[in-house]
Chain A
Amino acid sequence: MTQSTTLTSIDGILSLPDTPYDIGPLGLQRGRISELVGPAGMGLTRIGLGMLVETSRRAPVVLVDVRGWASPGAAWEAGIDPDRLVVVRCPETASWSSVTAALVGGVGALFAEVPAGVGSAGLRRLAAMARARGSGVVLRPLTGELPGGVSHTRIKGMGVTWEGPHQGHGRLMRRRLIIEVSGRGVGGMTRRFELEDDGEDRLSVVPVLATGSTRRTDVG
């Protein structure tokens, strides 16, 4: 396993208290859509919640819950104040676009699950609204990926490794997440990061893979 030596300059990139709003590809960006791609279990919801923390210090943030499985406890653990997280349950695909459009017009940060069947026109309209309003939006498609051109940054879950449990003993303690970041937010390059989740309120980048630009892509 990779030695866990965090890099001071980017340590806590997702949750450092004094982190500026625009912090780069792993931070929430005003007027941009970040996309989280991958199956449940890859730590992507945790990354998305981490993106909301900074904005939640100044204003309420909204989580659009399609499956009805959203867990505020995890958001609180990530550092979002309970009073500042509003959960909007929207299981109907037909109304999803209207609901998210209404929210993007008024909230600073939005994390929304995207149900299967949402049309690309609705997603592009959402991207345009986010740009116009300066809202930071994180979208988590429940199946597949968003159409090209919608997201500014795509974060793809590639793998996860947990530490702690061992044949019945111990408990979940911390995990390593491997993610691949691509899109205009990283200059059209594809970059691979390893994140360490301490299991509570801190996500940090492990430096070994952090500098590895792999190839140029045209995603988004």
Chain B
Amino acid sequence: MAVSPTAEEEADIRIGMDRRVAESELPGAVVLERDPGEEVQRFEPVVRAMEEVVPRVEVVAPGTVLIDITGALRYYGGVEVVVDKLLEAVAATGDEPGVGGGGGSGEPWRVCRVGVADSPFAAGIAARTANTTPHIVTDTPRYLAGLDLGVMADADRTELVDTFRWLGINTLGEVADLPRDVIASRFGPVGLETHRLASGEDRATDPRPIPTELAVESRFEEPLVDLDSVAFVSRQLAARLIESLTGEGLSIHQVLVEMTRSDGVTRTRTWRSIDPLTERSLSDRIWWQLRAWLDETPDDVDPTSPIGITRIRIDPSRVSGEGRQLSFWEDTTSMIETERALGRAQALVGPDRVVVGHPEGGRLPAERVGWQRWGEPPPPVQRDPDAPWPGATPSPVPTLVPPRPQPVAMEWDEGMPVRIRMGSRWETVLSWSGPWRLMGRWWNREGTADRYQVVTSAGAVLCVVWEGKTYLAGIYD
């Protein structure tokens, strides 16, 4: 549910509220399907007005912008002056027909929520909590430290926040005070990102130089005038850009979209995302922006030669190597989605149960695997897997290996296995190989054991006979 400030005041309606609940609160409300493209189109004059005051405006989503005001502070002489200028510019757009928001009320505070801080994350929270006056944060670390953990509770972090609360951690400052390596170990990538944000660090912590000639561009002899063609070209350009950046091992966080119209007008707009842009999300943003520009062409155009787009250029203006391990995760989108999925699994079953195996040396199948938690660096190898290991159980490796050998009933006849109990049934032994002697550490009073590969009509198993008892060490399933 997306609502206007006016409706919000008239009834107890909040963004994100279920449609039915909102309708019950405000029965006369007209429900429209959300159209991000139209939102961008209606937001475009607002962005352009702000760009008249401060040139570097980055669009995060329709209705939300980030502005680096470092240079503007020197030019205008103070934060308050810059903010006032921006608000006046936005309020002026309220007089334009078709621009959502102000309605020319002359009260920009009702339209804009402004937060000023040292980092985009802190500024975003300050803006969300600002009401009638801009929220200017002078000490960002202290501001973040005092915030309740609830500001983090988005879709990906709900369980994490619940866990923190259960542990008695209720503010971002308390999260930031925890050792980062412990957080990373216990909560994985989501926990690490949360710790960074709570510490006042932006998520793009690994900025990389932008390789030359990674921008993608298309020129059209016949101007693009219909929206379907523009959508198609948007998808193509997004795919080309993502593919080239993936080849460089980079993720993209910010792009400059540039368009030239057939009447010679050129427009540029920066789009920014905290999470790396995927092909889909990038393609959507390009499409929304081009649609907004295409729709604002003058009305008095000769219908026989409509104004269209003759050139589109997409320039990556911020990239990072964050989360990129090309030898492992070769696909950008799958990398992010897989990390999130495994992070959720870790939250559900615990970090000790989401694991990755690595080869170790040993003679029994269970010994030949070392385990590490997913997301953590592999520990040093305990037993060299490339060493000869004479007497090791030959391949194939059993597909099912109990953590410890399980007692199993086996009948013998003059030293030869005859029957083995598989579940509730006795299976006749059809053939077997062994025994292969396994020398124990005599100094540790381990004695010796014999291994057998036993074949029945129900399959084959690996058994270990030790001190007269038979144990199941693996099933060849």
Chain B's interface: helix, strand, loop or mixed, by majority? mixed
Chain A residues near B327: list those with CB within 8 A: 83
Residue A199 is within 8 A (CB to CB) of chain B in the complex: yes
Cα distance, A76 to B365, chains bound together (Å) = 12
Cα distance, A83 to B377, chains bound together (Å) = 11
Chain B residues near A104: list those with CB within 8 A: 341
Residue B460 is within 8 A (CB to CB) of chain A in the complex: yes
- Of A59, A67, A71, A82, most B-chain CB atoms within 10 Å: A71
Partner of B341, one of A44, A103, A199: A103
Cα distance, A200 to B340, chains bound together (Å) = 33
Residue A168 is within 8 A (CB to CB) of chain B in the complex: yes
Partner of B477, one of A42, A83, A105: A42
Q: Choose, from A11-19, A84-92, A181-189, the stretch at the interface.
A: A84-92
Q: Is B329 within 8 A of A59, CB to CB?
A: yes
Q: Is A73 within 8 A of B397, CB to CB?
A: yes
Chain B residues near A208: list those with CB within 8 A: none
Residue B357 is within 8 A (CB to CB) of chain A in the complex: yes
Residue A40 is within 8 A (CB to CB) of chain B in the complex: yes
Q: Is A89 within 8 A of B357, CB to CB?
A: no
Q: Is A88 within 8 A of B349, CB to CB?
A: yes
Q: Is A86 within 8 A of B349, CB to CB?
A: no
- Of B328, B431, B457, most A-chain CB atoms within 10 Å: B431
CB proximity to B under 8 Å, residues A19-48: 39-46
Contact with A along B327-369 (1 / 0, CB 8 A): 1111100110111111011001100011111110000010011
Q: How far is the CB of B324 from chain A (nearest CB, A)?
A: 14
Cα distance, A85 to B341, chains bound together (Å) = 14
Q: Choose, from B44-52, B63-71, B269-277, B399-407, the stretch at the interface.
A: B399-407
Chain A's interface: helix, strand, loop or mixed, by majority? mixed
Given contacts A58-B330, A99-B349, A165-B431, contact A40 B395 (CB under 8 A): no
Nearest to B328 among chain A residues (CB) is A83
Partner of B459, one of A42, A68, A85, A105: A42
Cα distance, A86 to B422, chains bound together (Å) = 29
Residue A128 is within 8 A (CB to CB) of chain B in the complex: no
Chain A residues near B423: list those with CB within 8 A: 39
Given contacts A69-B402, A106-B337, contact A41 B453 (CB under 8 A): no
Q: Is A40 within 8 A of B477, CB to CB?
A: yes
Q: Is A171 within 8 A of B453, CB to CB?
A: yes
Partner of B331, one of A45, A59, A83: A59
Q: How far is the CB of B432 from chain A (nearest CB, A)?
A: 5
Given contacts A43-B459, A165-B431, contact A95 B349 (CB under 8 A): yes
Cα distance, A60 to B342, chains bound together (Å) = 11
Partner of B342, one of A46, A84, A106: A106
Q: Is B460 within 8 A of A41, CB to CB?
A: yes
Residue B396 is within 8 A (CB to CB) of chain A in the complex: yes
Residue B293 is within 8 A (CB to CB) of chain A in the complex: no
Cα distance, A42 to B458, chains bound together (Å) = 7
Q: Is A69 within 8 A of B400, CB to CB?
A: yes
Q: Is A59 within 8 A of B354, CB to CB?
A: no
Chain B residues near A172: list those with CB within 8 A: 394, 396, 433, 453, 455, 460, 476
Partner of B399, one of A45, A105, A106: A45
Residue A98 is within 8 A (CB to CB) of chain B in the complex: yes
Nearest to B330 among chain A residues (CB) is A58
Cα distance, A84 to B374, chains bound together (Å) = 11
Residue A215 is within 8 A (CB to CB) of chain B in the complex: no
Given contacts A45-B477, A60-B328, A86-B354, contact A71 B401 (CB under 8 A): yes
Q: Is A44 within 8 A of B348, CB to CB?
A: no
Cα distance, A2 to B395, chains bound together (Å) = 24
Contact with A along B158-199 (1 / 0, CB 8 A): 000000000000000000000000000000000000000000
Chain A residues near B433: list those with CB within 8 A: 164-166, 168-172
Nearest to B475 among chain A residues (CB) is A40
Q: Is B400 within 8 A of A102, CB to CB?
A: no
Nearest to A83 among chain B residues (CB) is B328
- Of B348, B358, B401, B402, most A-chain CB atoms within 10 Å: B348
Chain B residues near A40: list those with CB within 8 A: 400, 459, 475, 477
Partner of A82, one of B358, B399, B434, B476: B358
14 contacts between A and B (CB under 8 A): A39-B423, A40-B477, A41-B456, A41-B461, A41-B475, A45-B400, A60-B338, A69-B475, A77-B395, A82-B358, A87-B356, A89-B355, A99-B345, A160-B460
Interface residues of A (CB under 8 A from B): 39-46, 49, 58-60, 62, 67-74, 76-77, 82-90, 92, 95, 98-99, 102-108, 159-160, 162, 164-172, 175, 197, 199-200
Interface residues of B (CB under 8 A from A): 327-331, 334-335, 337-342, 344-345, 348-349, 353-359, 365, 368-369, 374, 394-403, 416, 422-423, 431-435, 453, 455-461, 474-477
